[in-house]
Structure 1
Amino acid sequence: MKRLTQLVAEVLVGQRDPAQLREFMSPRAYAALVRRAGVYHSAASPQVRIVLGCPEPGVSEVGAVVDCGGRCRALALRVSFGGVVPLCTHLETDVRH
């Protein structure tokens, strides 16, 4: 879960192309990721400092604090585990876009 959160944070900083995560995102979550790509505006590589999961059968809700090198940002994901790969079905950031 932390790895997926790190990859999403890299998109939000603008260091990773959102297309690299398409297979791990529902259409709605992917559209939200594309809209928010680069909104964290940081030259530093993001570091996921805290990840908290609240598991349900087949689903996790993850809240993370992302250190962007001078500012910490909030990130939340809802991930489903029904298929071959985990699927992020919902994405929230502290930046409304």
Structure 2
Amino acid sequence: MSHTSPLHSCPRPACGGHTALHRPVATPARTPERRVLPRPCRAVLHGHRTPADVYLLAQQVAEVLVGRRAPEALRDRVTVQVREELRRLRGAVPCRLAPRLVRVFHQPSGDSVEASAVIGCGMRSRAFAFRAHREEGRWVCTSLETDGLRR
């Protein structure tokens, strides 16, 4: 049974062919008087993304831990102590594929930054943390800790 109207035709019996019956329900999201209040956590999260050069340093360290990069390739980005630690830990994370950083967290403290990263390798995840200091426009890793990797 179809109802015909000069406005439109509709085969649904509930419609009756009248558009006046099909108006959107007034909800708080649709009412123009609704004021949008700022979220209270907006100031806390401002600038929460890890800087690209810190993320890149974390990716390079992860590549050394997996065995895809030589520690000597990071000679300008790590101190001698960290480079020796990376030599000892090179290839300690068994991963067939290139390492994928699942998460990188950072906490700035003055002219240095503390960061931690999670490496996703198949069904396992490994973590490491490092402290970096700004020298000549780049981050230099000054200390490194892992989640108990042994080599």
- The normalised TM-score by structure 1 is 0.93
- Answer with 1 or 2: which has the greater Rg: 2
CA positional deviation for 1:44: 1.4
Instruction: Provide the secondary structure at the position in 1 that maps to 2:101.
Output: strand
| Residue in structure 2 matched with residue 7 of structure 1 by the alignment | 60
1:41 matches 2:94: yes
Contact in 2 for aligned 1:45/1:69 (Cα 8 Å): no
Aligned-pair RMSD on alpha carbons?
Answer: 1.1
Provide Cα deviations, 1:29-63, integer angstroms capped at 9, x if missing partner: 11111110000011111111111111011110001
Correspondence list, 1:1-97, <5 A: 1-94=54-147, 95-97=149-151
- Separation in structure 2 between the aligned mates of residue 14 and residue 48 of structure 1, nearest angstrom: 15
Contact in 1 for aligned 2:78/2:141 (Cα 8 Å): yes
- Separation in structure 1 between the aligned mates of residue 85 and residue 109 of structure 2, nearest angstrom: 23
- Separation in structure 2 between the aligned mates of residue 78 and residue 92 of structure 1, nearest angstrom: 9
- Separation in structure 1 between the aligned mates of residue 70 and residue 122 of structure 2, nearest angstrom: 20
CA positional deviation for 1:68: 1.6
Q: Can you give the 5+ residue segments of structure 2 that lack an aligned partner in the other structure?
A: 1-53
Which letter maps to 2:78?
M
- Separation in structure 2 between the aligned mates of residue 82 and residue 12 of structure 1, nearest angstrom: 24
Instruction: Provide the secondary structure at the position in 1 that maps to 2:97.
Output: coil
| Greater share of residues in helix | 1
> Which 4+ runs in 1 deviate beyond 4 A?
none
Amino-acid identity (%)? 37
- Separation in structure 2 between the aligned mates of residue 67 and residue 42 of structure 1, nearest angstrom: 9
Contact in 1 for aligned 2:92/2:150 (Cα 8 Å): no
Alignment size in residue pairs: 97
- The normalised TM-score by structure 2 is 0.61
